Amino acid sequence: MNIIYSHPNLEEFEKIGEADKSYIELLVADDYFKFMIQAARKRGNIPIDGYDLSKSIDSYSKDHPFSAITVKEVFNFSKSMVHHFNLPPFWNPTFSFLILFNFAYPPDKKGYNPIKIEKENGKISIAIYENLPLSKIAAILNSNEFKNALGDLPVNPDKKRFEINHKKREIYELRKDGKKDEEILENFSPDVDKQKINTWYHRFEKYLGQVTPKRSKEVYIAALEKTLHEDISNPTK
């Protein structure tokens, strides 16, 4: 099988990289690969040696006209070969061109990412498309993209993390209502002093900031209205 890496009729195509070229040279020496190429050509009504790019289209008009190519068969064989040789999907066009013309079209890696982070319906999915080192997977989990995606997921309240009780909430609400610390002390036992009131107030305020939605009130109202199909921006209406 004579592989073509460049041709005047295909000058607009990007040249294939050396690593991919080396891999193709290995592939075409594989008996199973050669069998698949020939089977694809037979099913696709393509010359057994592929189309010669140096010949005119008219020269194939009798036995293997371009109009008789079953493109679907070529694509199906390409996908099957990519699967059998355990390659990423961007090799599909490369195998299709090999079947048709023996031409090594470079794998289309533009926009390809071996790991994708997808967020939908309150969950994050990580899709991995290649056998990658664990270090690369760990790098994704530590990336800002992943951390930002985690930020909007539901949080499971942990009482040990918050350490809040009714007494602390009451102190927070009393002080927020304008009560002086001396007035607040009157409602609690002697073991509560001004220092504890101050500490508990700020701790409660900090924890409250962790549970309060970061989005604006208007955003939530818009989301609720969309869900309920009614105007709730003015509860008194």
> CB within 8 A of 117, min separation 6: which ones?
124, 125, 126, 140, 145, 146, 149
| Same domain, residue pair 44 and 74 | yes
Verify that 187 and 165 share a domain, yes or no: yes
User: Average pLDDT of 138-153?
Assistant: 82
164 pLDDT more than 70: no
pLDDT digits (tens, 9 = 90+) for 36-61: 999 998 888 888 888 888 888 777 77
> Do residue 12 and residue 96 come from a single domain?
yes
pLDDT above 70 as % of the chain: 82
Most confident of 46-60, 69-83, 221-235: 69-83
Domain match, 147 and 216 both: no
Q: Which residue would you say has higher pLDDT here, 5 or 89? A: 89
Q: Examine residue 3 and state whether it is found in any structural domain, yes or no.
A: no
Q: Identify whether residues 59 and 89 lie together within a single domain.
A: yes
- 4: nearest Cα among 91, 83, 106: 106
Residue 1 counted as domain residue: no
Whether residue 236 is predicted with pLDDT greater than 50 in this model: the reply is: no
Unique residue bearing structure tokens 């990007």: 14
Tell me the CA distances in angstroms from 91 to 24, 109, 214, 218, one per residue in order.
Answer: 11, 9, 44, 47
Cβ burial of 114 (10 Å; 0-12, 13-18, 19+) is middle
In terms of Cα–Cα distance, which of 95, 219, 236, 93 is closest to 152? Answer: 219
Report the number of distinct structural domains present in the chain. 3
Q: Which domain holds residue 119?
A: 115-151
CA distance 53 to 58: 12
